[in-house]
Amino acid sequence: MKTLDYIPTNKIERATQLVATGVRVGGNYLKYYGGKALNREMSKEALDEENAKDIYDGLKSLKGSALKVAQMLSMEKNMLPRAYVEQFSLAQFSVPPLSAPLVKKLIRKNLGADPEVIFDTFAAQSVNAASIGQVHRAAKNGKKLAVKIQYPGVANSIGSDLSIIKPIAVRMFNLKGQDVDKFFNEVENKLVEETDYELELQQSQSMTEACALIPNMRFPTYYPEWSNKKVLTMDWMEGIHFSEYTDQEITDPKINQKLGQSLWDFYMYQMHGLKKVHADPHPGNFLVSPENELIALDFGCIKHIPDSFYIPYFELSKKENLDDKEAFQKILHELEILTATDTPKEIVFFTELFHRMLRLFTLPFQGEHFDFSDPIFWNKIASLSQEFTEDQEWRKMNGNRGSEHFIYINRTFFGLYSLLFDLKAKVTINNYMNFV
């Protein structure tokens, strides 16, 4: 794979590259509509594939928050066309790494010496390059280590990247009004946290210690002596990527069941026991060990859940509140889904919309067990997503509904549901209560 000796770090350089990407996408549209005039049966899928590739190619060399947003969108399987999901999924673990000389320079700058001086062995070629940093194998005093190095300029470019991405997101998700800023502030604050490896070290040690009681889960040990704001060193964990495991033609249903239950308990314990959660549940952050245990990595994105949000949010999962229109609307107001300025038409529309959505998304909480491989459940999600994507009434209304806390909590649940679907797991819903 091609390596990078340089990453654009200032606003002008990054904006120029994004504009160039936009020009290529515009050219794709011209080719598509020109071809459509000659061939009416020409598929829009071809356009999606070209656009997705060009956008991803433009983002992968920028790295940082622009690529992180693509990674986040890759989890929205029912929101984006398939071509975009497939391309953006590559941001989880398949982007061009930094070159060996640049890696050496960064280690020297951040840890005070060349990597071969600090460690007994250090592999100059990365084993995993993602949106914010890349991972190298190393060893010290008989310990096998993973050394994560942050890309240069990533932290400083978050604000400018998001300012460029913001107009696109506003159009894509139909966001309106002044409250748009609170959502972007939430994303920006989380991205800033993810670029602070000292914070990640603290979070990793705290979360792994707290979650050690979950059966069939493993976590790396972290090493402060070889870590700072831009470098994070931990145990090298033996295992295969989650997606590699689930992509196998044949897997043992009993093992899948065990892994799925551990994954569910891991997240529910965090939600309800710790009131904070590993809010980045994509396949690249999990391994399956040779002993068929689930290994959780990367605690850089931790979402703290205030009681003011936690209580009404989980009240919405209770059947009695879904069946009581007055109670349901009261909770929608508490969560800022309904507002004091809404018209009667908006109140009716959004009450009905969220009632339909929540009837579906909270199904796992309505019984003792839930089968995440159920095709009916996923077909309903896909159908509902498609329906509201095409709904013209929805597009006329203010789409930015709800507290800013929804962004990462919903992301967590959508990611968790997707991972459990990949495992074809049936879980016992309240098993986590054994650990709270």
Contact (Cβ atoms closer than 8 angstroms) between residue 224 and residue 197: no
**pTM to 2 decimal places:** 0.81
Domain, as residue range, for 43:
11-92
Highest mean pLDDT among 22-36, 133-147, 397-411 belongs to: 133-147
How far CA 154 is from CA of 10, 132, 133, 163, in Å, comes to 10, 7, 9, 15
**H or E, element range at 62:** none
| pLDDT, tens only, 20-37 | 444 343 444 334 333 434
Backbone angles phi, psi at 217, to 5 degrees: -115, 140
Question: For residue 44, is it within any domain?
Answer: yes
Structure tokens at 190: 């989380």
Q: What percent of the chain has pLDDT over 90?
A: 55
Q: What percent of the chain has pLDDT over 70?
A: 72
Domain count, the chain: 2
Question: For residue 219, is it within any domain?
Answer: no
pLDDT interval class at 51 (50, 70, 90): low
pLDDT of residue 132: 84
Last residue of a domain, one of 43, 77, 92: 92
Cα–Cα distance for residue pair 297/293, rounded to 1 Å: 13
Instruction: Show the DSSP H helices in 39-157 as ranges.
Output: 44-60, 64-74, 82-89, 100-111, 115-118
Kindly tell me if the per-residue pLDDT of 17 is higher than 60: no
pLDDT interval class at 10 (50, 70, 90): low
Q: Output DSSP code: residue 78.
A: T
Kindly tell me if the per-residue pLDDT of 220 is higher than 80: yes
| pLDDT, tens only, 160-173 | 777 766 766 665 55
Cα–Cα distance for residue pair 274/382, rounded to 1 Å: 32
Last residue of a domain, one of 35, 70, 92: 92
| pLDDT, tens only, 331-370 | 999 999 999 888 898 899 899 989 999 999 999 999 999 9
Q: Which amino acid is at 421?
A: F
Last residue of a domain, one of 92, 109, 141: 92
